[in-house]
Amino acid sequence: MKRERGNIGDMMAAGLCMLAMTAIMLVYMGNAGLVNKKAAVNQVARKYILRMETTGCLTEADRVVLLQELETLGLTEPELTGTTMNRVGYGQPIVLNIRGKLEGGYEVEEKRVSTAKH
């Protein structure tokens, strides 16, 4: 049997391609994690705007639990500026505005507007 000579260039190209694909996959997984956390913040905002519709505002008890849920999701420096904290009448607009930062300093803002239905 005849032994063929290998080419180091072919091996090197294959190794570099594998390294590049690994790097791309890691970046994708990191970004997918951030998208999932943003979606979770969106779901929490939806849950609390529905509560606000029935009460006419974000109650103090709900505010405390909301901030705890956001911190559990990994949101740092949470702000509720612009949120309806004082009870409004039936048919009046209510606003839930959540701001904060996810890992890596990515800023998140989730704004929900609805109508009081109590």
- The pTM assigned to this predicted structure is 0.79
3-state secondary structure of 72: helix
Q: Is residue 2 part of a domain?
A: no
Q: Are 37 and 73 in contact, with CB atoms under 8 Å apart?
A: yes
1 pLDDT tier (thresholds 50, 70, 90):
low
Kind of pairing between the strands at 93-102 and 106-115: antiparallel
Q: Is residue 1 part of a domain?
A: no
**CB-count exposure of residue 18 (10 Å: 0-12, 13-18, 19+):** exposed
**Total number of domains constituting the chain:** 1
Q: Are 84 and 52 in contact, with CB atoms under 8 Å apart?
A: yes
Determine the structural domain holding residue 45 and report its residue range. Answer: 8-115
Q: Is residue 95 part of a domain?
A: yes
Q: Is residue 3 part of a domain?
A: no
Question: What pLDDT score does 31 carry?
Answer: 86
Q: Is residue 63 part of a domain?
A: yes
Q: Is residue 44 part of a domain?
A: yes
60-107: pLDDT as tens digits: 999 999 999 999 999 999 999 999 999 999 999 999 999 999 988 899
Q: Are 44 and 66 in contact, with CB atoms under 8 Å apart?
A: yes
The CATH number that applies at residue 41 is 3.30.1300
